[in-house]
Amino acid sequence: MIFSNEKQLRILIEIAKSDGELHPDELSLILRIAEGNGIDHDTVKNYIAEPKPSGKLEALTFDQKFEYLYNIILLMKADRRITFKEIKHCQNIAKKLGFNPTVVSELSAHVYSDPSISADINMLHNKAKKYLVNKA
């Protein structure tokens, strides 16, 4: 499961809007994630129109940031067709989470589109730590 609750979806929306705008590509990605988890488009649009502060993105723990990053990469690979646009999108989200954008290619090489093949989460977790820009 990509999102387990409303707060996580709201945080993803907050991440997408953290640069002052919600790009149509970001909206499309958010709607796809929500749909995959049984959350309808009207609910998502309501979350966007009436945001509830979830706290500063900087306040997310490393584990939370990693979870979002990992899930976005999983989503990118889900249809087994990765476009340049999707890669750039994931890199932008990684940056908003406080990672160097190159973390996407590093982790992506070890994340599989086939859900029956598990990635080594501990190894990915350790790799991602090396790409965290603000290690405060």
Instruction: Provide the pLDDT for residue 52.
Output: 77
Instruction: Provide the pLDDT for residue 116.
Output: 64
Sequential pLDDT tens for the chain (136 residues): 444 567 778 877 877 776 677 888 788 878 887 887 788 999 999 999 988 766 566 677 899 889 888 888 877 776 677 788 888 888 988 988 899 999 999 999 988 766 667 788 999 999 999 999 976 5
| First vs last C-alpha separation in the chain | 29
Instruction: Provide the pLDDT for residue 124.
Output: 95
Instruction: Provide the pLDDT for residue 2.
Output: 47
Whether the CB-CB separation of 10 and 70 falls below 8 Å is answered with no
Could you tell me the residue ranges of all domains in the chain?
Answer: 1-55, 58-136
Instruction: Provide the pLDDT for residue 123.
Output: 94
Taking the model in full, what pTM does it have? Answer: 0.68
Instruction: Provide the pLDDT for residue 1.
Output: 41
Instruction: Provide the pLDDT for residue 55.
Output: 59
